[in-house]
């Protein structure tokens, strides 16, 4: 099933610059998972060793290798981005419209940081939070690449 979810990656349509390519791959993967109900939970619970999951990982890792990252960094960055995709997508697919929005009403003095930031914990859309997290990942990768040069 996970192989079917990640079918259809068109590597020819991807941008060439590594940062844009990483972003495009992450967005494509997230979109593919969102297109199938509960797919993030399914994929997170499996060892995905099928051609389409390999194709996605191979394309991501090759993108990073071509950018100049060492193999270990490229492999681990692939996992980091994939875990980000799975995590936020699983949360989005599991969200119930009837669930109370507890984070915005958080007012427990025992946890002052949560209390101070509570309005921001669930603010924005899943897409906005995904783009923020993806930007953080690419920023960290850019810093790592400049450190290793």
Give Dmax (Cα) for the chain: 53
- Measure the CA–CA gap between 48 and 89, rounded to whole angstroms: 17
Write out pLDDT tens, residues 3-54: 788 888 999 999 999 999 999 999 999 999 999 988 888 888 766 677 888 9
Neighbouring residues of 131: CB distance < 8 A, sequence distance ≥ 6: none
- Measure the CA–CA gap between 41 and 112, rounded to whole angstroms: 32
- The upper half-sphere exposure of residue 110, i.e. CA atoms within 13 Å in the direction of its Cβ, equals 1
Write out pLDDT tens, residues 94-106: 885 555 555 556 6
> Taking the model in full, what pTM does it have?
0.87
Which tokens hold the place of 13?
Answer: 């349509």
Write out pLDDT tens, residues 90-145: 999 988 555 555 555 667 889 889 888 888 887 889 999 999 999 999 999 999 99
């Amino acid at each position: 099933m996970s192989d079917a979810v990640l079918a259809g990656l068109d590597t020819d349509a991807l941008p060439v610059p590594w940062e844009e390519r990483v972003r495009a791959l992450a967005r494509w993967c997230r979109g593919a998972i969102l297109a199938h109900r509960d797919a993030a939970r399914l994929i997170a619970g499996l060892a995905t060793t099928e051609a389409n999951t390999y194709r996605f990982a191979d394309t991501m890792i090759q993108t990073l290798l071509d950018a100049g990252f060492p193999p270990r960094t490229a492999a681990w960055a692939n996992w980091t981005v994939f875990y980000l995709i799975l995590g936020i997508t699983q949360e989005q697919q599991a969200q119930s419209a009837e669930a109370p929005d507890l984070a915005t009403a958080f007012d427990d003095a025992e946890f002052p940081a949560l209390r101070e930031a509570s309005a921001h914990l669930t603010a924005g859309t899943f897409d906005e939070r995904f783009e923020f997290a993806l930007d953080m990942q690419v920023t960290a990768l850019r810093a790592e690449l400049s450190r290793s040069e």
